[in-house]
Amino acid sequence: QVQLVESGGGSVQAGGSLRLTCTASRGMRERDCMGWFRQALGKEREVVGVTDNDGRLTYASAVKGRFTISNDNSKNILYLQMNNLTPEDSAMYYCVSASGLACKARLWRGDATNWGQGTQVTVSS
């Protein structure tokens, strides 16, 4: 079990930026994958992006080109840099992880082993 703790959420105006941080209880290992999901009020949860330990990233079309996932394994941290935010990006953002075979594909469809508690992002117009 890996504990995940998100931080960095807050309120920002449209066009602004935020960087979310996910601190894990251990660093990524060879067969680990991590990512970000979000859920807006009254809407279904959706994937933001996922990465494997080789740094292969996949982003949802709604955020591609605006959001960037990176990790600092020396600090057990996964980042989500969000630029050019719009009100449609307002949601609770969750850090997720999974391990083993096809973990990236499993994470993409929401089959995560570990979830953080979430951090709220609110974008005003």
Banded pLDDT at 40 (limits 50, 70, 90): very high
Q: Cα angle vertex 29, ends 60, 24, to 5°?
A: 70
pLDDT at 74: 83
Q: Cα angle vertex 52, ends 22, 62, to 5°?
A: 70
Structure tokens at 18: 């935020």
DSSP codes joined into one string, 29-82 = -TTEEEEEEEE-TTS--EEEEEEETT--EEE-TTTTTTEEEEEETTTTEEEEEE
Q: What is the mean pLDDT of residues 21-38?
A: 94
122 pLDDT higher than 90: yes
Residues of the chain with pLDDT > 70: what percent? Answer: 100
44 pLDDT higher than 90: yes
pLDDT at 28: 85
Banded pLDDT at 30 (limits 50, 70, 90): confident
Structure tokens at 21: 């941080």
